[in-house]
């Protein structure tokens, strides 16, 4: 079987991104913290970078529901949802890691539309796992978005680490639950659920108020289903 590169990392990474990870365990880092990490060559932590690609489009789905656009996530090899991205290699910066991982996982061409430092939204530390997660958000045009989606089928990791790209439903149906709030009830890798929420508000696809409503609907559903 071909060496797909992550074998040696597996033992080291054991315990990362498991189902049941608590989002609250990921503490946001300040820009000073990140600067200090960079000065120390990003040691002694393990790092990973993930990116949300989206396009903005206000329209009415089926002439009924206000749709805000599309955001890209993926079904991962481990059955959880996450953003394209992955673990940082020795000598890389978080941004270099992101652009490399996106090429491997979704066939993204960094010479055409690489992520930049301006698109960094937040970084989080999970102390127990000695893991720092860096998160970026990039707006593209509708044409670029659809071309990227088509490309994913030809990416190196398609069918291995990435089992398919999905569009996050950015609308809420009449019952206040189906659509985006119901999407939040899925299982997410690491802190991808809170990254999604943060990213959509940072991109101004959701107002704080709309997002609060969606989170309340999601939490209400989770409470009633137990």
Ligand X SMILES: O=c1[nH]cnc2c1ncn2[C@H]1C[C@H](O)[C@@H](COP(=O)(O)OP(=O)(O)O)O1
Distance CA 18, CA 189 (A): 7
> With respect to ligand X, which residue has the nearer C-beta, 53 or 192?
192
Taking the complex as a whole, the smallest distance from the CB of residue 130 to ligand X amounts, in Å, to 11
Q: Given the rule CB under 6 A, which residues bind ligand X?
A: 6, 16-17, 48, 50, 82-83, 85-87, 131, 133, 161, 189-192, 195
Taking the complex as a whole, the smallest distance from the CB of residue 97 to ligand X amounts, in Å, to 9
Beta bridge partners of 81: 75, 188
Taking the complex as a whole, the smallest distance from the CB of residue 17 to ligand X amounts, in Å, to 3
CA torsion 117-166-199-33 (nearest 10°) is -50
> With respect to ligand X, which residue has the nearer C-beta, 42 or 83?
83
Taking the complex as a whole, the smallest distance from the CB of residue 80 to ligand X amounts, in Å, to 7
Rg (CA), the chain: 17
Taking the complex as a whole, the smallest distance from the CB of residue 60 to ligand X amounts, in Å, to 30
> With respect to ligand X, which residue has the nearer C-beta, 69 or 86?
86
Long-range contacts of 107-114 (CB under 8 A, 24+ apart): 107/148, 107/151, 107/152, 107/153, 107/154, 107/155, 107/156, 107/158, 108/84, 108/148, 108/151, 109/151, 113/138, 113/140, 113/144
Tokens for 22?
Answer: 């608590």
> With respect to ligand X, which residue has the nearer C-beta, 6 or 65?
6
> With respect to ligand X, which residue has the nearer C-beta, 15 or 220?
15
């Amino acid at each position: 079987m071909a060496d797909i590169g992550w074998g040696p990392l597996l033992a080291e990474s054991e315990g990362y991104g498991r189902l049941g990870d608590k989002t609250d365990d990921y503490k946001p880092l300040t820009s000073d913290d990140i600067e200090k990490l960079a000065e120390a060559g990003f040691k002694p932590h393990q790092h990973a970078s993930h990116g949300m690609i989206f396009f903005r489009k206000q329209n009415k789905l089926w002439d009924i529901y206000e749709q805000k656009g599309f955001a890209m996530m993926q079904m991962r090899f481990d059955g959880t949802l996450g953003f394209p991205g992955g673990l940082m290699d020795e000598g890389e910066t978080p941004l270099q890691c992101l652009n490399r991982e996106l090429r491997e996982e979704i066939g993204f061409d960094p010479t055409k539309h690489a992520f930049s430092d301006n698109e960094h939204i937040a970084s989080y530390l999970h102390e127990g796992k000695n893991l720092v997660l860096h998160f970026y958000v990039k707006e593209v045009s509708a044409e670029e978005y659809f071309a990227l989606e088509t490309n994913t089928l030809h990416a190196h990791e398609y069918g291995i680490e990435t089992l398919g790209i999905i569009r996050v439903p950015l609308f809420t149906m009449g019952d206040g639950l189906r659509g985006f709030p119901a999407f939040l009830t899925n299982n997410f890798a690491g802190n991808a659920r809170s990254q999604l929420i943060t990213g959509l508000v940072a991109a101004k696809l959701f107002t704080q108020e709309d997002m609060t409503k969606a989170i309340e609907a999601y939490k209400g559903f989770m409470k009633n289903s137990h």
